[in-house]
């Protein structure tokens, strides 16, 4: 009897919630433009459409349930707001790109919502001057290629994307969207943390990209500013912290690239190849397999005032040829290299001899990447010994920094975290890097190779 009463009670609650759900579209249709619809806790049916300026605000996170069909919420009117909701269970059709919230008009605000079990999270199409802030977005439990984009902007200009947490999705994608600010977000365990194509005048600052296949990848755009971002343990098949393909007019300042397979990958960037049209300053490259990879045709970068600490290979050239036409020192100041073996007789903080990258084994693996299998082996040590003992077999230097710094550059990263535990995870790896900087500042030798590299992924909370 008791079980029967409990079952009847639960059924009545479900029916009541369902009844409330059926009223939501009617409430939206009956509301006047500019009204605020306040939703009390409960479960409301998804598949709703907003065709007039409205505020849809939840109290104590009511649930909008799409029941596994289509889009959960569609916004077709400008000046709408969706706030404080749990938005869940969209359809799973990639053909129809089912989404948690689909925005098809300007000046929408999507703030402080939780997205769960949605194929695409927030999809903005021809929706400019929007604000997407404080949301937590996770995708469906599908293979990563079958998931949708957690956040996508298509031809949506002048948008602000800030303080969101995106995890276990596919990509955060900006296509043909200009003058967008991406600030203070966390993107982890996705395919691309941020992927931008044909986007111009985009600012990315104070974000954390962690444990993705690729942290940030920029393609075919110009006018990028990347500042104070943390790019940690991005180690997929390509494994770039930051990748750039035919991008022009960019500044990469005060970021930390740590524990990635490749910290920065440059292909045809800057596109115009004009000297000084692209700059890397104040960044720290630490504990990556490769600090930076450049294709031989890359020209026009100014790479100065950065720290290169404990990367297995500081700079790699992918292919044959030198990387002439890139400046590694400006106004008599270069970069800090933890493996620099020179001296500073006049105590001006600048090494008296250039830093030259001409290790024999590095030259071999740049031409034949499969030789990385031999890293840290006796064969590796033997080849390096031969290269040092017999100058005749030393390769030509890949590049030279004429004014290497004797002391590391202070890190300026202050990447904010949109989630509660992010600062703790980030502070662990920053502590590891900072300890290396402190050791270097006192002139003590730093190991140029980490034989137990699993330490970095563990500290940063990413996959080992």
Mean pLDDT by groups of 10 residues along the chain of 464 residues: 49 44 85 95 96 96 95 97 96 92 98 96 97 96 89 97 95 96 96 96 97 96 96 93 96 97 95 89 96 92 96 86 85 93 90 76 59 62 55 65 94 64 48 52 41 36 34
Give the DSSP letter of residue 330.
B
Cis peptide leading into residue 270 (ω within 30°) = yes
For residues 31 and 386, what is the distance between their CA atoms, to the nearest angstrom?
80
322 by Cβ neighbours in 10 Å (0-12 / 13-18 / 19+) ranks as: middle
Sign of CA pseudo-dihedral 113, 114, 118, 121: positive
For residues 186 and 207, what is the distance between their CA atoms, to the nearest angstrom?
6
3-state SS, residue 138: strand
119 by Cβ neighbours in 10 Å (0-12 / 13-18 / 19+) ranks as: buried
Stated length of the chain: 464
Instruction: Please report how many Cα atoms fall inside a 13 Å half-sphere around the Cα of residue 23, on the Cβ side.
Output: 12
> Which pTM value belongs to this model?
0.83
For residues 198 and 438, what is the distance between their CA atoms, to the nearest angstrom?
41
Angle in degrees, CA 87, 415, 194, rounded to 5: 55
Beta-carbon count within 10 A of 46 CB = 27
Residue 226: the pLDDT is 97
Q: Report the interhelical angle of 360-367 vs 378-389 (nearest 10°).
A: 120
For residues 187 and 134, what is the distance between their CA atoms, to the nearest angstrom?
13
Residue 324: the pLDDT is 82
């Amino acid at each position: 009897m008791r079980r029967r009463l409990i079952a009847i009670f639960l059924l009545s609650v479900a029916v009541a919630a369902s009844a409330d759900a059926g009223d939501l579209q009617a409430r939206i249709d009956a509301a006047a433009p500019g009204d605020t619809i306040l939703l009390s806790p409960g479960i409301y049916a998804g598949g709703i459409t907003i065709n007039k300026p409205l505020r849809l605000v939840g109290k104590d996170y009511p649930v909008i349930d799409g029941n596994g069909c289509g889009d959960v919420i569609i916004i077709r009117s400008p000046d709408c707001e969706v706030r404080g909701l749990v938005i869940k269970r969209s359809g799973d059709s990639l053909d129809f790109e089912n989404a948690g919230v689909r925005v098809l008009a300007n000046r929408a605000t999507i703030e402080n919502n939780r997205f769960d079990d949605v194929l695409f999270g927030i999809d903005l199409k021809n929706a400019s001057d929007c604000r997407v802030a404080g949301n937590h977005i996770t995708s469906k439990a599908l293979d990563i290629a079958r998931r949708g984009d957690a956040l996508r902007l298509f031809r949506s200009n002048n948008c602000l994307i800030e303080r969101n947490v995106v995890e276990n999705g596919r990509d955060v994608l900006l296509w043909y969207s200009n003058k967008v600010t991406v600030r203070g977000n966390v993107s982890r365990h996705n395919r691309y943390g941020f992927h931008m194509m044909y986007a111009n005048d985009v600012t990315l600052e104070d974000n954390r990209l962690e444990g993705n296949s690729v942290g940030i990848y920029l393609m075919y755009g110009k006018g990028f500013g990347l500042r104070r971002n943390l790019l940690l343990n991005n180690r997929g098949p390509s494994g770039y912290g930051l990748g750039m393909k035919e991008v022009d007019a960019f500044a990469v300042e005060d970021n930390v690239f740590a524990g990635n397979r490749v910290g920065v990958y440059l292909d045809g960037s800057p596109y115009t190849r004009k000297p000084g049209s692209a700059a890397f300053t104040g960044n720290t490259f630490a504990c990556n397999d490769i600090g930076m990879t450049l294709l031989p045709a890359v020209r026009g970068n100014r790479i100065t005032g950065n720290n290169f600490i404990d990367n297995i290979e500081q700079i790699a050239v992918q292919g044959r040829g030198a990387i002439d036409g890139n400046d590694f020192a400006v106004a008599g100041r270069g970069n800090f290299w933890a493996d620099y073996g020179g001296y500073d007789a006049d105590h001006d903080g600048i090494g008296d001899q250039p830093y030259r990258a001409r290790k024999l084994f590095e030259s071999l693996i740049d031409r034949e990447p499969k030789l990385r299998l031999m890293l840290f082996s006796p064969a590796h040590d033997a080849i390096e010994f031969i290269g040092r003992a017999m100058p005749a077999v030393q390769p030509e230097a890949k590049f030279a920094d004429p004014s290497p710094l004797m002391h590391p550059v202070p890190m300026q990263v202050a990447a904010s975290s949109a989630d509660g535990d992010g600062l703790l995870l980030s502070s662990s790896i920053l502590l590891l890097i900072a300890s290396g900087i402190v050791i270097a500042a006192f002139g003590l030798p730093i190991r140029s190779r980490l034989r137990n590299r699993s330490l970095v992924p563990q500290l940063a909370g990413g996959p080992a």
